[in-house]
């Protein structure tokens, strides 16, 4: 059985990842109508959607960890605890969702992965990259995405969008996930710089999409990168 294909999305809060993930998943579902695929290079049969998941969250245990890590009342979490929670969530997601799907040859799309820990805890909380990469090696058996789409619109615009979304969520269902959004702007600049550092180091894996493109423009960039890696040729 061929290994599936593992795609991750990364970016600042409010960078539009969720919208792009929905669009990409829908694109995959319709792919067989619209494309000739190099059969050996991707494995989803017609009409089957990719496996879509997110971190933190995506499993029952992960959802509990997410609530603990993102609730803005939980301000006393020490940076090391926060990082450990992110890896606990990830180890569970790999065991329960990601690795089994890849072993079945599925396409997996994950909203955030270890680059987020390197950017937020390594960069934002200033724990450094080394400890994050070491924990990834030990706890995640160094599982690497085949392709990472990194969305980096301007910091101020992303944050304003994320804050509006969180206010809506608090008003609608009382769920407050704003702990990171409430960090000062310097925190988010450190996150952004670390993301840029990762993109420069991981040139083969990471495709960087910068600037304030429209949803459609970003989607086109995402699809172009995915199609190129999977050897998918659009029908004329
Ligand atoms: P989301 O709203 O895009 O799902 O992101 C959840 C928040 O958790 C976001 O502010 C980034 C943060 N986060 C970390 O700090 N470290 C991590 O390893 C992950 C996966 C997320």
Spans of all domains in the chain: 5-230
Q: What is the pLDDT of residue 204?
A: 95
Q: Residue 83 pLDDT > 80, yes or no?
A: yes
Q: How confident is the prediction for the chain on average, in pLDDT?
A: 90
Query: How far is the centre of ligand 1, averaged over its atoms, from the C-alpha of 184 (Å)?
Result: 16
In the CATH scheme, what is the code of domain 5-230?
Answer: 3.40.50.300
Whether the upstream peptide bond of residue 64 has omega within 30° of 0, thus cis, is no
**Closest ligand 1 atom to the C-alpha of 112?**
20
The C-alpha atoms of residue 139 and residue 129 are separated, in whole angstroms, by: 15
The radius of gyration computed from the CA coordinates of the chain, to the nearest angstrom, equals 17
What does the alpha-carbon distance between residue 90 and residue 99 come to, in Å, rounded to a whole number?
11
Q: Which of 18, 54, 56 most suits a substitution to test ligand 1, by most atoms within 8 Å of the C-beta?
A: 56
Confidence of residue 183 (pLDDT cuts 50, 70, 90): confident
Q: Which residues contact 105 (CB under 8 A, 6 or more apart)?
A: 1, 2, 3, 4, 43
The pLDDT of residue 236 is 47
Per-residue pLDDT band for 170 (boundaries 50, 70, 90) equals: confident
Percent of the chain at pLDDT > 70 equals 90
| Of 84-88, 115-119, 143-147, 169-173, minimum mean pLDDT range | 169-173
Task: Determine if ligand 1 sits within 6 Å of the CB of residue 86.
Answer: yes
Token pair listed for 46: 């017609």
Packing angle, helices 129-139 and 79-93, rounded to 10: 30
Query: ∠ CA(82), CA(190), CA(132), 5° rounding?
Result: 45
Residue whose Cα lies nearest atom 20 of ligand 1: it is: 55
Could you tell me how many residues make up the chain? 236
Asked if 28 and 44 count as a contact pair (C-beta separation under 8 A), the reply is: yes
Q: How far is the CA of 109 from the centre of ligand 1 (A)?
A: 16
Q: How many whole angstroms from 36 Cα to the centroid of ligand 1?
A: 36
Q: How far is the CA of 235 from the centre of ligand 1 (A)?
A: 37
The model carries a pTM of: 0.92
How do residues 92-110 score in pLDDT, each as one tens digit? Answer: 999 999 999 999 999 999 9
């Amino acid at each position: 059985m061929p290994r599936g294909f593992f795609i991750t999305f990364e970016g600042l809060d409010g960078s539009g990842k969720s919208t792009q993930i929905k669009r990409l998943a829908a694109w995959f579902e319709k792919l067989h109508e619209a494309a000739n695929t190099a059969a050996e290079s991707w494995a989803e049969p017609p009409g089957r959607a990719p496996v879509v998941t997110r971190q933190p969250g995506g499993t029952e245990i992960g959802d509990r960890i997410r609530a603990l890590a993102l609730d803005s009342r939980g301000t006393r979490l020490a940076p090391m605890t926060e990082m450990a929670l992110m890896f606990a969530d990830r180890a569970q997601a790999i065991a329960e969702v990601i690795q089994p799907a890849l072993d079945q040859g599925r396409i997996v799309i994950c909203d955030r992965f270890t680059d987020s820990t390197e950017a937020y805890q390594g960069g934002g909380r200033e724990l450094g990259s080394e400890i994050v990469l070491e924990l990834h090696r030990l706890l995640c058996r160094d599982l690497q995405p085949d392709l990472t789409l990194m969305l980096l619109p301007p910091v101020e615009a992303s944050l304003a969008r994320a804050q509006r979304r969180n206010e809506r969520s608090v008003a609608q269902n009382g769920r407050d996930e704003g702990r990171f959004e409430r960090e000062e702007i310097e925190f988010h600049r450190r996150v952004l710089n670390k993301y840029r550092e990762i993109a420069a180091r991981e040139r083969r894996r990471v495709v960087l999409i910068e600037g304030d493109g429209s949803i459609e423009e970003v989607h086109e960039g995402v699809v172009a990168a995915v199609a190129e890696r999977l050897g998918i040729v659009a029908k004329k």
